[in-house]
Amino acid sequence: MPKYNLGFIGDEDLFTHVKETVEKYRFTIDLKKFNKNLIDPIKLTFDSKIYGKSLEETIELEIIRQMDKSNTNHIGYFHQNIFKYIDSDWEVPDYGFDLINKKEKIYVEMKNKHNTMNSSSSQKTYMKMQGMLLDDAQNRCMLVEIIAKKSQNIPWQVSLDGLSRKHEYIRRASIDKFYEIVTGESMAFKLLCESLPKVLDDVISTLEQTSIQNSVFEELSMISPNLLASLYQLSFSKYEGFDNLVFK
């Protein structure tokens, strides 16, 4: 087992968690997955012409965009689940909050970026946290942001019914400060970031598949030898005349 020497998390636990995250990544895509949310061939036509890309390049970019959107959720898994390896008192519940520590009575909502929530979702989350304090005055709630405006651990201030509200036990913290709370080390998050490239190299070296298997183009060619016609027929197959497209 490689040595990462982070102190607050064991080498094997860190390796295992990173591997679990990597294995969630998408490595295959076919036409069914590509068209899961219904491809817009008109937008792809605009994108191809406006940005001076071939249709093949434009489709490749759309494939990467789709896979990236899916993989972003897996990074959320990484952030959320690592703490149960750091301290067994932390757990990921099935619903309610992203992370809780029943022993310390801490309830956490995690967001990837500080601008993820709009006003309505901020209010809803804050009121949920207020409810936890009403249930038990000893409860503590936190909004933890991975990419925050700055390093902070402050009372979370929101506007409810036109009034500014904040409470000492409902806090807004950047991820580095949350790591400090959990581990007791002020540089814990920095040390993790410094080790992550090495851990990923070690994990990837153990995996059989890390290249993308893409059958989209092959399956599109089975609809029509003309790639653009294939895209339009994929989306508009039930429309009149689209079984016989002739592009100018």
Mean pLDDT value across residues 38-64: 94
Query: Which residue reads 């100018």 in tokens?
Result: 248
CA angle 149/122/124 to nearest 5° reads: 160
Residues 129, 171, single domain; the answer is yes
Residue 110 in any domain: the answer is yes
Asked if 84 and 92 touch (Cβ cutoff 8 Å), the reply is yes
Q: Which residues contact 62 (CB under 8 A, 6 or more apart)?
A: 34, 39, 44
Q: What pLDDT does 87 receive?
A: 95
What's the number of domains the chain is made of? 2
Residues 104, 167, single domain; the answer is yes
Residue 161 domain boundaries? 89-183
C-alpha span between 144 and 111 (Å, rounded): 6
**Per-position b or e across 46-84, b if 16+ CB within 10 A of its CB:** ebbeeeeeebeebbeebbeebbeeeeeeeeeebbbbbbe
Residues 77, 95, single domain; the answer is no
pLDDT of residue 68 exceeding 90:
no
Q: What pLDDT does 237 receive?
A: 87
φ/ψ (deg, to 5) at 184: 80, 5
pLDDT of residue 62 exceeding 80:
yes
- Read off the pLDDT of residues 183-242 as tens digits, 9 standing for 90 and up: 999 999 999 999 999 999 999 999 876 678 899 999 999 999 999 999 999 999 889 988
Q: How many CB atoms lie within 10 A of CB 108?
A: 24
Please state the separation of Cα 41 from the chain's center in Å. Answer: 27
pLDDT of residue 115 exceeding 80:
no
Query: Which residue reads 């070296």 in tokens?
Result: 205
Going by their DSSP bridges, the two strands 153-155 and 170-174 should be labelled as: antiparallel
Q: What pLDDT does 184 receive?
A: 95
Under DSSP, is residue 77 helix (H, G, I), strand (E, B) or coil?
A: helix
- Read off the pLDDT of residues 72-108 as tens digits, 9 standing for 90 and up: 888 999 999 999 999 999 999 998 999 999 999 999 9
Residues 26, 75, single domain; the answer is yes
pTM: 0.84
User: Percent of the chain having pLDDT more than 90?
Assistant: 73
Hey, what are 154's tokens? 């402050």
Asked if 146 and 114 touch (Cβ cutoff 8 Å), the reply is no
Mean pLDDT across the chain? 92
Residue 66 in any domain: the answer is yes
Q: What pLDDT does 210 receive?
A: 67
C-alpha span between 169 and 140 (Å, rounded): 5
Q: What is the DSSP string of 25-73?
A: S--EE-HHHHTTT---HHHHHHHHHHTT--HHHHHHHHHHHHHHHHHHH
Q: What pLDDT does 209 receive?
A: 65
Residue 189 in any domain: the answer is no
Residues 106, 34, single domain; the answer is no
Residues 95, 169, single domain; the answer is yes
Q: What pLDDT does 161 receive?
A: 78
Asked if 59 and 221 touch (Cβ cutoff 8 Å), the reply is no
Residues 108, 160, single domain; the answer is yes
Residue 41 in any domain: the answer is yes
Strand ordering across the sheet containing 140-147? 90-91, 99-101, 106-113, 140-147, 170-174, 153-155
Grade residue 8 by pLDDT with cuts at 50, 70 and 90.
very high
